[in-house]
Amino acid sequence: MTAAAAAAAARKGPGDGTAVSAWRPAVPGVVEVFHARFTEYAYPMHVHEAWTLLIVDDGAVRYDLDRHEHGTPHDTVTLLPPHVPHNGSPAGPGGFRKRVLYLDGSRLGAELIGPAVDRPDVRDPVLRRRVGQLHAALVRPGEELEAESRLTLIGERLRAHLRPAATRPARRDPVLARRLRELLDERLVDGLTLDQATALLPAHPAHLVRAFSGAYGIAPHQYLMARRVDRARRLLLAGRAPADVATATGFYDQAHLTRHFKRLVGVTPGRYRARTALSRPDAR
């Protein structure tokens, strides 16, 4: 089920302000994405097989974990470990609105369960912003590489909070960055997942993303989209229709092309094509 379909299928309760949507994205390690608003509902004690990565956008949640009470104000990222019972309820009369990711063990290892029980709530503005950016990418079809990259850096930052002594400063690796750039260029239309990249260029995913960003000042997914938009401009100048250009340049659909094209060029592909056609000498 796509994110758009999930959003369209959001279920609302009978006048109680409840709304939920859930889907499984095509991003390795993500078991489920769950967005919800509850005004009165309280979760009983329960467990999950997956890690629960939670942010609250409105209101607050109170919960018990390992017989200790915790809370999740809007500036907090909460990480609940698998197999550890917890509950949850609104901390105020207005309820709460939350976004949740359920992650399998490939993203966070079992050795972090103990530290997460001790320190489930993380106040880190950078981490909070990155989790919000990840959710934004997950609801947009065609942004799987961005979602993978953001999730990889989120996992790295979570591990740094839970195991600070194990963190190391990032090191530059221009050769690895160049090889990833060449790989992105080769797969401009077909696209590339982070898992595929790390299989072809043996390196930890976080190191791969950081090496590229450090070398070029731009994340791999941003580079890929910029290259696609650049090729789209050439095809639009040649008179191709935006819908055909979207397919030819690797975008999910025309709306996907339009979003990135307008962000990078300042106008939609249709307006760009119309204005460039008017400016041709033979159009006067």
| Residues 12 and 110 placed together within one structural domain of the fold | yes
Amino acid at the residue 23: W
Residue 152 lies in a domain: yes
Residue 186 and residue 90 share a domain: no
Q: What is the pLDDT of residues 91-103, one digit of tens each?
A: 888 899 999 999 9
212 within 8 A of 219, measured Cβ to Cβ: yes
Residues in the chain: 284
Q: How many domains does the chain have?
A: 3
Residue 246 near residue 257, CB atoms below 8 Å: yes
Q: Quick one: pLDDT at residue 14?
A: 45
pTM of the model: 0.78
Q: Answer whether residue 13 shows pLDDT above 80.
A: no
Q: Cα separation of 56 and 92, whole Å? A: 13
> What is the Cβ-side half-sphere exposure of residue 246, based on CA atoms within 13 angstroms?
18
For residue 186, tell me if it sits in a domain. yes
pLDDT in tens, 52-102: 999 999 999 999 998 788 888 778 999 999 999 999 999 888 899 999 999
In a domain? residue 129: yes
Query: What local confidence, expressed as pLDDT, does residue 41 receive?
Result: 87
| Within a domain: 138 | yes
Would residue 222 count as lying in a domain?
no
Task: Please tell me the predicted confidence (pLDDT) of residue 4.
Answer: 46
Does one domain contain both 157 and 176? Answer: no
Give the domain-ending residue among 115, 132, 162.
162
- 154 and 177 in a single domain? The answer is no
Question: Tokens 């390196």 map to which residue?
Answer: 203
Q: How many CB atoms lie within 10 A of CB 199?
A: 9
CATH number for 240: 1.10.10.60
Instruction: Report yes or no on 156 lying in a domain.
Output: yes
Would residue 111 count as lying in a domain?
yes
Q: Across the beta sheet with 68-72, what order do the strands follow?
A: 43-46, 86-90, 61-65, 68-72
The strands making up 51-59's β-sheet, listed across from edge to edge, are 11-12, 19-23, 30-38, 96-103, 51-59, 77-80, 121-122
Q: What percent of the chain is helix, strand and coil (3-state, nearest 5)?
A: 45, 20, 30
Per the domain annotation, does 7 fall within a domain? yes
Clarify whether residues 23 and 118 are in a common domain. yes
Give me the domain span that covers residue 66. Answer: 3-162
Tokens of 228: 């696609």
**CATH number of the domain enclosing 107:** 2.60.120.10
Listed in sequence order, the residues at least 6 apart from 251 whose beta carbon sits closer than 8 Å to its beta carbon are 142, 228, 232, 257, 260
The three-class DSSP label of residue 241 is coil
pLDDT tens digit sequence for 187-244: 999 999 998 999 999 888 889 998 998 888 888 999 999 999 999 999 998 899 999 9
Q: Residue 79 has which token pair?
A: 């990480």
Q: Kindly report, residue by residue over 248-260, the tens digit of the pLDDT.
A: 999 999 999 999 9
Q: 253: how many CB neighbours lie within 10 A of its CB? A: 12
